[in-house]
Amino acid sequence: MIAENKASRLQGKVRNIKKISLTALLSGLVSISVLMTLTIMFISSYTSQKQSLIDNTLSLNYSSAAQMSQTLDSLFQSMQNSLKYAADYFPQMDYSDTEKLDSTLELIRSSSNFFNSVTLVDDKGVIRSASPYSNKNIGMQISSNAAKKAFESRASYISEAYQSPLSKRRIVFVSEPIFDAAGVFKGMIGGNIFLQENNILNLSFGSQLKTSNGSYFFIVDAKGTLLFHPDTKRIGENISKNEVVQKLLDNQTGKEQYKNLAGVDSLAGYQKVPATDWGVVVVSPTQTVYDQLNEHIRMLLLYTSVPFLILTLIVIRVARKLASPFVYLADLVHQVDQGKVDLPTMRPHWNREADLLTRTVLGALANFRKQTDQLTYDARTDVLTGMTNRRTFEEVIQQWIDEQVTFSIIVIDIDRFKSINDTYGHHAGDQVLKHIAGLIKLAVRPQDVSSRFGGEEFVVLLRHTESDTAYQIAEYIRISVEASIMPVDRSVTISAGIAEYPLHSSSATELFHLADNALYQAKEEGRNRTVTIQTVEK
């Protein structure tokens, strides 16, 4: 009796458990499949777009820095030429004719807008005239160190930024010596640029100070002192500890992602100014890239949500139709169990529906897997060349280091690739990239990994290969490229840098950096060559 009561209670509990219908199960399965596909699509899109936006921003900032560097270089050459023309004129003038001196200097200053003020100094170092006119300085000996250095040099001179002890202004002083026809020194003419006031730099670059997305630029001198910045209060501040500024001080140019002194993650392009040895840095906060990316994802979600919703509803409807034979049978069995109807003749169509349902589910799963595989392939492969991309390269090199496998890395860069794009167009440049990628893939073994690292740069990982053998392979690739008939009517060459693990470094980042340094050395030595980084004693 007790056993029967327990069995009865157990059956009651089982009956009270909420059951899931086959229709709900199939509808849920289809909905989850669609949602998972949508999720994977968004994740893949986010990842690929993120790197693409970062690379594009870095390239744009570097291009802007290079253009501004050229503009500054031309600007200072024009300043010096303007002063040279004036210097050729003054030996013929009478320095005692102060009215003519003043009007001439005023004409020089106002006609070009190069300088905030212009000063004429005689061969004794005495100020003879100035524009704008300042009565208190006329007849006085030059006092600033910059003016004294320019006077003593008796040559073209551009000073470092300095603070005037009298006016407290931050100034850059540009001067030219004055010689008469016999070559006798007669003094100098100099122009002052007041960095914290409206000046030629504001006039030339003022519209680019800071964009709506937070991008801005600044200029530093050869010691890392700010000469130009959107925040004028920072002019004169030394920021030589800034990672990018340190590279400029080491005469490096380029682009990179870094954290500034305030800890803000930023994307910078930087370039030197030959005429002054200054540096131009164009910066975009990395957050702006994320903001653009989030906006892209929001728009993508907006445009895809309705089609996916419609698709989901259609598939759910189809799933209900496919499940209807099983629902009918379940209801029928339940009714028979309740004694409401007699057992009818079985309908022959249910087997067909079950077969169709099975094939549909299998087809949906196959389609889901195909989409997943395609998304994974797209995330790990460079679309243009068919090579693995940077992400795959980083995974493989770290895996080999974890396995402590001896290998070598070759970093390859196409020489003067920008000129190919500029001359023949980007489509021709893409064809050159694909052609060279094909030559690289032909030169390596199945166990090796060749990747397009970005732009015109490729990376090859040679498993169980020492640097001497890697050098031979790199040379084979280099010679193959040089001898190959390219899609453009000119020869194309490459440069390569090599490093070996663990001979040169046991860190993936440092190993790549060493190989990249070797590549840079190859470029410096004339391009179209291969350089293996030298072993450093630790």
Domain ranges of the chain: 19-324, 390-532
Contact 439, 477 (CB under 8 A): yes
For 15-70, how does the pLDDT look when each residue is reduced to its tens digit (9 = 90+)? 556 666 666 776 677 778 777 877 787 677 777 777 888 888 889 889 988 888 88
Contact 188, 95 (CB under 8 A): no
Residue 359 has pLDDT above 70, yes or no: no
What pTM was computed for the model? 0.47
The fourth-level CATH superfamily of domain 19-324 is: PAS domain (3.30.450.20)
pLDDT at 407: 96
CB atoms within 10 A of CB 254: 15
Nearest to 58 by CA among 258, 291, 293, 273: 258
CA 252, CA 80: separation in Å to the nearest integer? 26
Contact 251, 272 (CB under 8 A): yes
Contact 444, 460 (CB under 8 A): yes
Q: Which residues, in sequence order, are CB contacts of 433 under 8 Å at separation 6+?
A: 384, 385, 414, 452, 456
Tokens matching residue 511: 């190993």
Tokens matching residue 137: 């300085």
For 373-421, how does the pLDDT look when each residue is reduced to its tens digit (9 = 90+)? 677 777 788 888 889 899 999 999 999 999 999 999 999 999 999 999 9
For 409-435, how does the pLDDT look when each residue is reduced to its tens digit (9 = 90+)? 999 999 999 999 999 999 999 999 999
CB atoms within 10 A of CB 504: 22
For the domain 390-532, what is the CATH code?
3.30.70.270
CA 382, CA 378: separation in Å to the nearest integer? 8
Contact 501, 404 (CB under 8 A): no
**What are the beta bridge partners of residue 257?**
267
What average pLDDT does the structure give for the chain?
A: 81
Nearest to 122 by CA among 100, 146, 138: 138
CB atoms within 10 A of CB 201: 16
Tokens matching residue 2: 């007790």
Considering the chain, what percentage of its residues have pLDDT values greater than 90?
A: 29
Tokens matching residue 58: 């870095």
Contact 356, 326 (CB under 8 A): no
Residue with tokens 């998304």: 375
The helix or strand, by DSSP H or E, that contains position 454, with its residue range, turns out to be strand 449-454
pLDDT at 15: 55
DSSP calls for 236-299: T-B-TTSHHHHHHHTT--EEEEEE-TT--EEEEEEEEETTTTEEEEEEEEHHHHHHHHHHHHHH
Residue 6 has pLDDT above 70, yes or no: no
Nearest to 457 by CA among 494, 420, 499: 494
In this structure, what are the phi and psi dihedrals at residue 349, rounded to the nearest 5 degrees? -75, -15
CA 194, CA 320: separation in Å to the nearest integer? 78
Q: Which residues, in sequence order, are CB contacts of 521 under 8 Å at separation 6+?
A: 497, 531, 533
Tokens matching residue 350: 């249910």
pLDDT at 363: 47
